[in-house]
Chains A and B, each alone.
Chain A
Amino acid sequence: MALTIRSASECEFDLLALGECMVRLSPPGHQRIELTPVFEAYAGGGEYNVAYALARYGMRTGWISRLVDNPLGHFIRNHAKGSGMDLSEVVWVPSDGVGRKDRIGLNFTEVGIGVRSSVSMYDRGHTAIAHIKPGEVDWKRIFNVRKARWFHTGGIFTALSDSCAQVALESVKAAHAAGAIVSYDLNFRSKLWSSKQAIEVTKALIPHIDILIGNEEDFQKVLGFKVEGTDEHLKELPVDGYKKMVLQVVKAYPNIRAVGTTLREVVSGLVNNWSAIVYLEGTFYQSRRYENLEIEDRVGGGDGFCSGFIYGLTHGLSPKECVEMGAAHGALAQSTRGDTSMVTMDEVNHVMNGGTARIKR
């Protein structure tokens, strides 16, 4: 293993994640948002999903965020607790009873089918986490006294507000200085900010980051790199162009030890070709390719890759096994409705080792 991670015995946490979790409302099946009489409620958020999955697989995981002390905040808390994650560093803010001050973010997500793509509509203005202030979380105490082996955050959190961008910077700085591995999922969201803003803010974070996660679009929009030969609809992905771009990234930022991404080709809304590629300390590793992967719900696939990859790295698997675990976990995460993982480590191992979907009796 090329990556040296501090020992578990000196740390209270195997991983800490910082970010937002929203309540997601989805029409059952493939109903339309504007016509459905019923919404199903889920909880999810890019950075949260990583903490959730790893807590389920027995890692000592904590999640840091800001939640409103009302039933929606409690909904997220109850969901989080089911994974076993630690919530002791969550900042709770009072509810003003109306939502003028601090809200829990919502998203309405419709799962497409056939030629109709999935639709995600945000209702995440004025959220408690977007109002987080620099200095509000005591990062020095968290990373130097409680200690974590790994810290994960990402571009969705950073994009929420100017103060979130400042908090992202102070958190990765403190984590990195204290000796945690810092991973960052670029996760560009055009509705939250422009590419220009993203590039400006994210460049300042990179010196404190060890591992970057992101798909082809993320690297273009968040860090300004160009992937050669991609068509604008990202239907087909030339892996060679992607590799060239990663080499540019690590040349520009030599502190980056690993870069991981999923390669998704959209055959149709619910059928994708799926694989993952990872650069780790100078070498590329590619996972097996899941041809025509049937998807129940694509949301959370990238986070599934990210958490599987981190699980592999923190459990001493070989780089090839790490990319296989990330790809398998990402594929499995898309087999269930909702943003967060519902599978077991046994299933991940089965799929990453080429197991079939024959019924188990």
Chain B
Amino acid sequence: MSNGLNIPANGALDLVSLGALVHRLDPGIIPFRKATQCQIHVSGGEFNVAANLADCFRMNTGIATAMSDYPIGELIAERVRAMGVKPFYKHFKHNGVNGPNMATVYSDQGHGVRPPVVFYNRSNEAAAQLKPGDFNWTEIFSGGVRWFHSGGIFAALSETTGELIIDGMKAAKKSGAIVSFDLNFREKLWNIWGGQKKAVDVISRIVENVDVLVGNEEDLQKGLGIAGPEVAAKSALDPKTFFEMIEKVVKKHPHVKAVATTLREVHSTNRHMWGAVAWVNGKTYVSPTCELDIHDRVGGGDGYAAGFFYGLLAGESPEEAVKLGWAHGALLTTFPGDTTMATVEQVRAFAKGGSARIQR
């Protein structure tokens, strides 16, 4: 195959993700300081990829994560089932007072000139306690696994989560799976315990095991310590500087076979120009661009990753995989919440250049 990836053809699980499950409180366009009610979404950068692949792309996926046994945990577990993701939980007993908790993400949708605001309550988070040895990877991968995914949000949670990612990646590699990592650099999370230096150290060691890397320019700079572009890009949608940086990435990590990211030009909270690119095995691929009317931007990047992985898992060309990821990410921003409500038929139609004409 031209993509340089040797993806196993079969496996009981098409993808297993490792990461934290969170619940996101969403007051819509009202900022939290004036909010009177919220919707509850179930999310997690790494989980979203598994959920999108299961629900929209009808793949068999799993999530390895922490589950605290209290009503918020039950709410989250129910949504995980509803998305069709097989859970592998390390259970924690909640003491009824202060944890271990399922993290809370506070995230409004912003509007127009007002950007969305995100802040966390991740104190005493169950997932931060996860460490190497908590999951029996041999058992989880026993029926065969085609792809293993994790990300930089989970890596940033504590001193042990990064090590667990490496532990899982090594086991997945041994089982023949493709390994991917979404850099998703979150400065606030690293600042709690490690800071920038620790971040680069941990993420670089993780990336030693990675075949497919997802991340934008900022992620590559801050998460991997790659020097920024020498020439400023003409626009946020110009992939030139990104491709330039990728050359530095693969020079440092020559085993990386693919690097992918989304390109967003934010005109307002509700209006973005949207594109996506990938570098696969020495060749570059660029999606079409489109103007997006955004309902809820959270999850668009995970939506791209899921569609891109789906394309590769389904044996599509890298070019088609980029298009599917781009189309799915675009559709995802039209739904409330962080995970997909699209169908694979909609994604394929949009990737082909479908319109938003009403279907009757």
Q: Which A residues form the contact surface with B (CB < 8 A)?
A: 78-79, 81-84, 344
Q: Judge whether B265 is part of the interface by a CB distance below 8 angstroms.
A: no
A161 to B78, CA, bound (A): 34
A81:B81 contact, CB within 8 angstroms: yes
| Chain A contacts for B81, CB-based, 8 A | 81-84
The answer to whether B74 touches A78 (Cβ under 8 A) is no
Q: Which chain B residues lie closer than 8 Å to A81 at the CB level? A: 81-84
B156 CB to nearest chain A CB (Å): 30
Q: How far is the CB of A340 from chain B (nearest CB, A)?
A: 12
- How far, in angstroms, from A79 to B82 measured CA to CA in the complex? 7
B79 at the A interface (CB under 8 A): yes
Is the Cβ of B78 less than 8 Å from the Cβ of A344?
Answer: no
- A83–B74 Cα distance when bound, in Å, is 11
Quick one: CB contact mask for B309-353 with A, threshold 8 Å, 1 for yes? 000000000000000000000000000000000000000000000
Measured between beta carbons, the chain A residues less than 8 angstroms from B83 are 81
Greatest chain B CB density within 10 A among A79, A81, A82, A83 is at A81
* Shortest beta-carbon distance from B281 to chain A in Å: 37
- Complex Cα distance A357/B227, Å? 62
Main secondary structure of the interface of B (DSSP, over half): helix
Contact partners of B82 in chain A: CB under 8 A:
78-79, 81-82
Chief secondary structure at chain A's binding surface: helix
Measuring CB to CB, which residues of chain B are less than 8 angstroms from any residue of chain A? 74, 78-79, 81-84
A41 to chain B, nearest CB (A): 15
Residue of B nearest to A71 (CB): B343
Complex Cα distance A79/B79, Å?
A: 10
CB-nearest residue of chain A relative to B84? A81
Sample (12) of A-B pairs whose CB atoms are under 8 Å apart? A78-B82, A79-B82, A81-B82, A81-B83, A81-B84, A82-B78, A82-B79, A82-B81, A82-B82, A83-B78, A83-B81, A344-B74
Interchain nearest-CB distance for A279 vs B (Å): 35
Distance A344 CA – B74 CA, assembled complex (angstroms):
9
Task: Name A55's closest neighbour in chain B (CB-CB).
Answer: B81
Q: How far is the CA of A84 from the CA of B82 in the complex (A)?
A: 8
Residue of B nearest to A78 (CB): B82
Which residues of B lie under 8 Å from residue A84 when comparing CB positions? 81
Report the minimum CB–CB distance from A97 to chain B (whole Å): 9
A83 CA to B82 CA in the complex, in Å?
7
- A145 vs B142: C-alpha distance in the bound complex, in angstroms? 24
Interface contacts beyond A81-B81, A82-B81, A84-B81: sample of 11 additional A-B pairs, CB < 8 Å, sorted by A: A78-B82, A79-B82, A81-B82, A81-B83, A81-B84, A82-B78, A82-B79, A82-B82, A83-B78, A83-B81, A344-B74
Closest approach, in angstroms, between the C-beta of B66 and any C-beta of chain A?
19
Nearest-CB distance from B77 to chain A (Å)?
9
CA distance A344 to B82 in the complex (A): 17
**A78–B78 alpha-carbon span in the complex (Å):** 11
Closest residue of chain B to A83, judged by CB?
B81
A344 to B83, CA, bound (A): 21
Q: In the complex, what distance in Å separates the CA atom of A227 from the CA atom of B256?
A: 77
Q: How far is the CA of A313 from the CA of B221 in the complex (A)?
A: 61
